[in-house]
Structure 1
């Protein structure tokens, strides 16, 4: 039985959320709280497995509540967010502070969809309770002043252009070994730069049963990187992008499952902490090296040809897609237009969106990195490509930026 604490200053929302959750026999609402102060007390008393947390509350708001919770009693938290610009900014800060996912409050207008979504996310994230506790316990241990600091290795003395504000959900004991499938690849260049071809890339990956063990070697430079990501995505996307240099000889397109009002603030936030330029994509944008294009929420992103040149495609089609944006379109169109010049990256997310597009990407000669199970909030989308035999590498979140740099240099 999954024990849930519902926190919201609105009695109507507390009752509505509780009602939706208890429609599942495997979920028990053990209590409700009207603000952050009440929440922290109830957590001690009731020991829930998951918390749904409102952002705007009297006495102590959701963001401050979350910070205190993660420092004293870390648990999976789902934010219940408004779709205003303030709500989007606050939700992104909440995910930075440790929230695992969010649900827009406006979804409550569609009772069936809201109920399905909140039950699904509660059941999924409840499985990560031990993961959250281990992660924050490890972080507290590493911050203890009495702990001796290890001597710096030569590799650790080179700082990334920016330090990510998000912490990576990497347990301290994830096993590492080289894994992947070697393939040959071609070279190419986009607007804004070119690069020389090379031979090898260092791998630091987490082994997965369905990926053959060996040294993955991406031969030939890749100058377009396409990233698919969903649940738990904003922190890991920021971690990866903020570790990439401004002179990266490639452009990056990101399909993150996110509401329309969130992607603008998300792009702006990333632009402020990354050496790369980051903008919300516009149909017809030129593909410029050192630039990141975030798909507008509620639409789709891909690559299209304008004569001999490739450019960004932003479209409402397919309207029937379950996810908007759909990672399938991004990976399929990139593969068809750019072939061996594409590096695909599949990050944390529930479901299997992207696996069909990844299959096309691989058929056209693209290279595919999947985030490791140990570092995913939800091991759904990466698992789908691994299980389908499409992943060339399975890589911990902390190491993906390094692998991107190696791959685009060839």
Structure 2
């Protein structure tokens, strides 16, 4: 199998050197070039023909956003992974890059205590994503993708009191598409786990709220869930729901990661299944890995419903693919249709007088 060819673009010599050395130590990867800014990178792409570009956000002369915008005009399908700091400016620019067509992002190591810890962070953050985008993404089940199992809405469909969404790679754009299509009087609360570090989730919530008719905010412990409000799990915290005497409230905690994720979709869905039972819809959107798979099993066992994004509209058909392949999806839905399908399933009992 040929090696995956990588171009590293960063204005810092030490970053270019360290990243190149770490990536080159993997037998499946080959660093075919480095560039100190976007102008150099754009000139090098036709020379070195990379499979994946690692792109810094903050650079002189031509920054990452400007580079990405120019690159996408010439190379619309070349995978680009943003490599940014987790500062507020870095996170904001990264979210903008994702909206401009970046494939994914990885955060630069900071305050990890040692060089080896920083190196390990780069290995864990970058290498799996380079391999994911640099080679063909495996198809989980072509038969299921083209012939989805659909559980029809019927008089036995339970009422719905909450929607819980799990998403990772490709999530900011997917959430924008879905949430912006929901009406201001959306009849139930929405809970979201998006795999992102601290700072990113707060900025994502603010960005989504500015584009949607319903308010979107980072989850606040103790808040009572109300219709027409979306809450995003804070980075590095699991999000759960708890029922007290007269209400359902949000709670967060820092139990160990699950599926190498904190926040984890599985953690949220387990609590949703326990608190809401059959009155829950779980929605699994684009993302690498299988976080949410076991949580969807809890939702189905409790009598709830599961919707999975289809392969064609997913940036990565990992999380929804695992759910579909396990036979847990009531329906496989293109992203553009997800909002209307959710509304149909929520509103059926109200139309039927149930």
Map of 2:144 onto structure 1 = 208
Q: Give me the whole-angstrom Cα distance separating, in 2, the residues matched to 1:388 and 1:215.
A: 15
1:114 aligns to 2:122 (yes or no): yes
**How far off its partner does 1:283 sit?**
1.1
Deviations along 1:256-295, one digit per CA (max 9) or x if unpaired, are: 1100111111111111110001111011111111100011
**CA positional deviation for 1:309:** 2.0
Aligned length: 334
1:120 is displaced (CA, Å) by: 0.8
- Residue pairs, 1:317-336, within 5 angstroms: 317-318=255-256, 322-336=260-274
2:351 aligns with none
Q: Is 1:82–1:88's contact at 8 Å kept on the other side of the alignment?
A: yes
| Long gaps (5+) in structure 1 | 130-205
User: 1:240, 1:397 within 8 Å by CA — same for their partners in 2?
Assistant: yes
* Structure 2 CA distance for partners of 1:53 and 1:30, relative to 1, 3 Å: same
Q: Does 1:242 align with 2:194?
A: no
Contact persistence 1:369–1:393 (CA under 8 A): yes
Tell me, in whole angstroms, the C-alpha distance in 2 between the residues paired with 1:10 and 1:338: 50
State TM-score, norm by structure 2: 0.90
1-side partners of 2:302 and 2:125: how far apart? 35
Deviations along 1:19-78, one digit per CA (max 9) or x if unpaired, are 111111121111011101001101122221100000011110000100111111121100
CA RMSD of aligned residues (A): 1.9
Q: Equivalent residues in 2 for 1:83-122 (5 A)?
A: 83-106=86-109, 110-122=118-130
- Secondary structure of 2:199's counterpart equals helix
Write the distance in 1 (CA, Å) between the matches of 2:119 and 2:108.
11
8 Å CA contact retained: 1:221, 1:408: yes
CA distance in 2, matches of 1:267, 1:119: 28
Are the aligned partners of 2:259 and 2:290 in contact in 1 as well (CA < 8 Å)? no
Residue correspondence of structure 1 range 7-86 to structure 2 within 5 A: 7-74=9-76, 75-86=78-89
TM-score by length of 1: 0.78
Q: Distance in 2 between matches of 1:280 and 1:352?
A: 23
The DSSP-based 3-state class of the residue aligned with 2:109 is helix
Instruction: Report SS of the residue matched to 1:236.
Output: helix
Counterpart residue number, 1:167: none
In 2, are the aligned partners of 1:231 and 1:350 still within 8 Å (CA)?
yes
Deviations 1:297-350 (A, max 9, x none): 000112111124212122222456620101111111111110121110011111
> Matched residues in 1 for 2:284 and 2:152: separation?
16
Contact residue 347 and residue 376 of structure 1 kept, 8 A: yes
CA deviations on 1:206-238 (whole Å, 9 max, x unpaired) are 972597545632624312100011112111011
Instruction: Indicate how the Cα distance of structure 1 residues 38 and 372 shifts in structure 2: closer, same or farther if over 3 A, else same.
Output: same
Q: Unaligned stretches of 5+ in structure 2? A: 349-354
Measure, in 1, the Cα distance between the counterparts of 2:71 and 2:194. Answer: 27
Cα 1:106–1:36 shift into 2, 3 Å: same
Partner of 2:231: 293
Distance, in Å, in 1 between the alignment partners of 2:280 and 2:151 is 20
Could you tell me which residue of structure 1 aligns to residue 326 of structure 2?
388
Query: Which SS does the other structure have where 1:28 is aligned?
Result: strand
Alignment partner for residue 242 of structure 2, among 304, 307, 316?
Answer: 304
Corresponding residue of 2:211: 273
- Over 3 Å counting, the alpha-carbon distance change for 1:379 and 1:214 in structure 2 is closer
CA distance in 2, matches of 1:116, 1:20: 11
1:188 aligned residue: none
